[in-house]
């Protein structure tokens, strides 16, 4: 599919500002352009962005209800009540439970502290009847709900009827009426003045423990050692890598590389990442999926068991188990994805429509979110994948190119048993008799509100470069901009009129990739590049025709020598 290149050259005002910053701070002009695009325009803002410090975190007591939450936790610890740390079965939920549990076990007898992860198949996400009954049967007086609870009004009312208090630590969108919890920590509350509303669920749990530490004079170092869990949650839950998330991610990555918790070290080893400098990409593609695999294939509690491992021997065994779950998940994911492709290809209505909704009762609930992502990636339209679960139809939705899937689903809420999520991803539960009208109303909504631009695969380009500008100063600036992620994406550059320096060749098992050496009018020194899966352009390139490229700038280390390589994302042959 041809990609549309979206590139907006800098305005004259931006060029002036770029040149001022470049000269004053000795930064690459291209890096200054990127900073300006991200709204980072003053020396102090650049300092905070390049050198995020934990001391720049906001006061956790700015959260509504934080003093109530801390007071209730202090009462529970002081009166030796039993506490249940409760979280969802995904990476965010399990890391949040591990972080809060590991912190509290320093101040609480083991017999007074427990944790609970709902079963994906039997209970679904969020606070469940089974979870509350477990707390009641075990004489638990306080539940700390992490990464869930903001829409659990009925469940929290049920818990109250049994004499159980719940503190909600969530980051999802609340309904207008908040649940009757003893305290609700959610920066997305309408009455919240907290300066940063985009924390992960684990991040909210961290802020709660930070507030408790401040209230009780506890050294912050006891929390700093747990920030590797925060980094894993931030990367895996796809929250914006800005503000406090950036601060926590940078500190957490440092901890992950220097001294990770034993459980995470076990996962790092089974991933083959030991001895490598870990990045957010390593979390997204290697560490996170293995933690997720436990909740998808068996039970998320096993992931928490691993993250709480006290010794490397236990962590090794549990990591190997989870690695096997991940292998099983990949096989199931591929089979389910292929079946979903077949349903779509045989249905012109789905091919031609603006939104995809597919249902197959035999699909495994643990992989339908991944399959929805695959469909969105292939067909470039919002996708909802549904299966049968506990007498209902439940599923996951993924959006594309700025379409608000949560709002679309919310427009059908009278048909739904339950739903939740955010702009780009959501989950739903629905009765089978409501499936047909649900599909019809979603299609009508998409027809009305989805614009054609949202169905075109676009390449968002940040800046134009001459090849001579790709130098050590540029790469040093790009390194300082890491970690990359949502709202701080890895920059995509474009260069026009480049040519083959003469040594480009096809590589790969099936000769499907092109290894390039490129020059343009600005440089005689060739710049190495790789274009995966773009063999169709090879003849034109070898014929010395000029062409345009968009790409990311990568640093590759081989035999302890680090060099620059462009990773080509798209090629356009010029007309000459």
Task: For residue 78, give the 3-state DSSP assignment.
Answer: helix
pLDDT-derived band at 108, boundaries 50, 70, 90: very high
Give mean pLDDT, residues 305-325: 95
Question: What is the per-residue pLDDT across 380-414, written as a single tens digit (0 to 9) for each?
Answer: 899 999 999 888 999 999 998 778 999 999 999 99
Cα–Cα distances in Å, from 77 out to 74, 110, 112, 542? 5, 12, 9, 72
**pLDDT at residue 236, as a whole number:** 93
Q: CA-CA distance, 400 to 47, in Å (whole number)? A: 34
**Backbone phi and psi for residue 430, each to the nearest 5 degrees, phi listed first:** -150, 150
Task: Give the helix ranges, DSSP H, for 184-277.
Answer: 201-215, 221-224, 227-236, 243-258, 262-270
Give mean pLDDT, residues 196-201: 96
Of 94, 145, 101, the residue nearest 289 (C-alpha): 94
Question: What is the per-residue pLDDT across 412-426, written as a single tens digit (0 to 9) for each?
Answer: 999 999 888 778 888
- Length of the chain (residues): 576
Give mean pLDDT, residues 501-511: 93
Give mean pLDDT, residues 187-196: 96
Of 401, 241, 246, 300, the residue nearest 91 (C-alpha): 300
Q: Helices 227-236 and 201-215 meet at what angle, rounded to 10?
A: 150
pTM attached to this predicted model:
0.89
Of 461, 460, 528, 464, the residue nearest 29 (C-alpha): 464
Q: What is 347-450's CATH number? A: 3.10.310.30
Give mean pLDDT, residues 279-300: 91
Question: What is the per-residue pLDDT across 458-472, written as a single tens digit (0 to 9) for each?
Answer: 889 999 999 999 999
Exposure string for 158-171, b = 16+ CB within 10 A, e = fewer: bbbeeebbbbbbbb
The answer to whether domain 65-226 and domain 347-450 are alike in fold is no
Contacts 24+ apart (CB under 8 A), 21-30: 21/46, 26/473, 27/473, 27/477, 28/469, 28/471, 28/473, 28/474, 28/476, 28/477, 29/469, 30/463, 30/465, 30/469, 30/474, 30/477, 30/493
Q: CA-CA distance, 387 to 281, in Å (whole number)? A: 30
Q: What top-level class would CATH report for the domain 65-226?
A: alpha beta
Give me the chain's average pLDDT, please.
Answer: 94
Neighbours of 436 (CB within 10 A): 10
Give mean pLDDT, residues 248-275: 96
Cα–Cα distances in Å, from 271 out to 280, 319, 326, 382? 14, 9, 11, 31
Instruction: Evaluate if residue 360 carries a pLDDT over 90.
Output: yes
* Sequence-distant (≥ 6) Cβ neighbours of residue 452 within 8 angstroms: none
Burial class (CB in 10 A: 0-12, 13-18, 19+), 122: exposed
What is the number of helices (H) and of strands (E) in the chain? 22, 19
CATH superfamily, region 492-576: Nucleic acid-binding proteins (2.40.50.140)
Percent of the chain with pLDDT over 90: 86
CA 175 to chain centre: 23
More confident of the two residues 253 and 122: 253
Beta strands in 66-112 (DSSP E): 83-87
**pLDDT at residue 575, as a whole number:** 65
**pLDDT at residue 389, as a whole number:** 87
Where do the structural domains in the chain lie, given as residue ranges? Answer: 65-226, 347-450, 492-576
Q: CA-CA distance, 302 to 298, in Å (whole number)? A: 8
The answer to whether the beta carbons of residues 267 and 291 sit under 8 Å apart is yes
Give mean pLDDT, residues 523-545: 92
Give mean pLDDT, residues 138-155: 96
**pLDDT at residue 323, as a whole number:** 94
**pLDDT at residue 418, as a whole number:** 87
**pLDDT at residue 2, as a whole number:** 63
Of 483, 34, 42, the residue nearest 247 (C-alpha): 483
DSSP 122: T
Residue carrying the six token digits 């790789």: 530
Instruction: Evaluate if residue 576 carries a pLDDT over 60.
Output: no
Strands 458-461 and 4-7: parallel
């Amino acid at each position: 599919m041809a990609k549309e290149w979206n590139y907006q050259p800098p305005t004259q005002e931006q060029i002036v500002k770029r040149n001022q910053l470049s000269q004053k701070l000795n930064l690459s002009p291209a890096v200054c352009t990127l900073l300006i695009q991200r709204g980072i325009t003053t020396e102090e803002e650049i300092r905070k962005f390049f050198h995020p410090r934990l001391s720049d975190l906001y006061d956790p007591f700015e959260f509504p209800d934080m003093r109530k939450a801390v007071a209730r936790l202090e009462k529970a610890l002081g009166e030796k009540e039993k506490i249940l740390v409760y979280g969802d079965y995904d990476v965010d939920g399990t890391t949040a439970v591990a972080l809060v549990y590991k912190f509290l076990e320093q101040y609480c007898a083991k017999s007074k502290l427990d944790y609970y992860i709902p079963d994906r198949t039997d209970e679904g996400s969020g606070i469940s009847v089974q979870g509350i009954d477990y707390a009641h049967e075990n004489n638990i007086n306080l539940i700390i709900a992490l990464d869930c609870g903001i829409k659990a009004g009925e469940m929290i009312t049920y818990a109250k009827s049994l004499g159980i208090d719940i503190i909600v630590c969530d980051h999802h969108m609340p309904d207008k009426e908040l649940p009757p919890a003893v305290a609700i920590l959610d920066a997305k509350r309408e009455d919240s003045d907290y300066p940063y509303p985009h924390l992960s669920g684990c991040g909210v749990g961290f802020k709660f423990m930070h507030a408790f530490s401040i209230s009780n004079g506890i050294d912050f170092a006891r929390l700093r050692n747990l920030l590797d869990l925060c980094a894993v949650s931030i990367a895996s839950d796809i929250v914006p890598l800005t503000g406090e998330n950036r601060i926590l991610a940078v500190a957490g990555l440092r901890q992950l590389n220097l001294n990770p918790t034993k459980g995470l070290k076990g996962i790092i080893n089974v991933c083959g990442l030991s001895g490598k400098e870990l990045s957010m990409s390593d979390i997204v593609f290697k560490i996170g999926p293995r933690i997720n695999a436990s909740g998808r294939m068996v039970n998320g509690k096993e992931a928490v068991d691993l993250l709480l491992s006290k010794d490397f021997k236990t962590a090794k065994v549990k990591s190997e188990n989870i690695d096997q779950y991940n292998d099983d998940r990949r096989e199931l994911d591929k089979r389910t994805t292929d079946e979903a492709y077949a349903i779509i290809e045989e249905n012109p209505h789905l091919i031609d429509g603006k939104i995809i909704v597919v249902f197959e009762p035999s699909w495994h609930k643990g992989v339908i979110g991944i399959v929805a992502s695959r469909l969105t990636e292939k067909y470039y339209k919002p996708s909802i994948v549904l299966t049968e679960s506990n007498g209902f139809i439940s599923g996951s939705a993924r959006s594309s190119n700025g379409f608000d899937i949560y709002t679309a689903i919310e427009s059908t809420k009278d048909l739904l048993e339950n739903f939740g999520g955010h702009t780009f991803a959501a989950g739903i539960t629905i009765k089978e008799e409501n499936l047909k009208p649900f599909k019809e109303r979603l299609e009508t909504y998409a027809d009305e509100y989805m614009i054609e631009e949202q169905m075109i695969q676009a390449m968002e380009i940040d800046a134009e470069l001459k090849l001579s500008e790709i130098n050590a100063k540029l790469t040093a600036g790009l390194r300082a901009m890491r970690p990359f992620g949502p709202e701080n994406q890895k920059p995509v550059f474009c260069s026009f009129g480049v040519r083959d320096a003469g040594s480009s060749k096809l590589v790969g098992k099936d000769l499907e990739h092109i290894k390039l050496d490129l020059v343009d009018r600005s440089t005689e020194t060739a710049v190495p590049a790789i274009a995966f899966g773009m063999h169709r352009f090879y003849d034109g390139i070898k014929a010395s025709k000029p062409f345009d490229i968009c790409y990311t700038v990568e640093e590759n280390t081989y035999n302890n020598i680090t060099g620059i390589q462009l990773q080509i994302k798209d090629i356009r042959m010029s007309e000459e």
